[in-house]
Amino acid sequence: MVTHYKTAGHLACGHHGKNLVTTTELNRVKCRSCRNTEAFKTARKDQRNAARRSARKARTQHTGTDWRSAWVERLSALPGRQRLPRGFAGQGFV
C-alpha cells in the first residue's frame, strides 16, 4: 500500500480520498509524487539540517572542557618547576 505525505491537512501530491494512508514521517512516505513535491523536499532538507545541527552541538559540548586549566593542573602535579607551553600568559613556571 502506498503511503502519502500529509502536510498542513492536505496530501502533498494532490490526491483525494478517504481510504488513503497518510503520514507526516518522512521516512515512511512511499508515494513518488509526494516525494517529488517541493513541500516534501523542503521538509526533508529541514530534517537533515536539524540532525546535523544537533550532532554538531553534541560534539562541541562533548569536547568543551577547559583544557588549559587541566594542563596547568597536570604540570603543577609534576615535581619541580615546569614551564608552561606557548600561549599561556607569558610562559611562566608552575
Per-residue model confidence as pLDDT tens digits over 3-43: 999 998 899 999 988 899 999 999 999 999 999 999 999 99
Residues 66-90 pLDDT 10s: 777 787 778 777 777 776 665 566 5
Q: What is the pLDDT of residue 75?
A: 76
Domain boundaries, the chain: 3-62
Question: What is this structure's pTM?
Answer: 0.60
Percent above pLDDT 90 for the chain: 51
Burial of 40 (0-12, 13-18, 19+ CB in 10 A): buried
Inter-residue contact 74 to 66 (CB < 8 Å): no
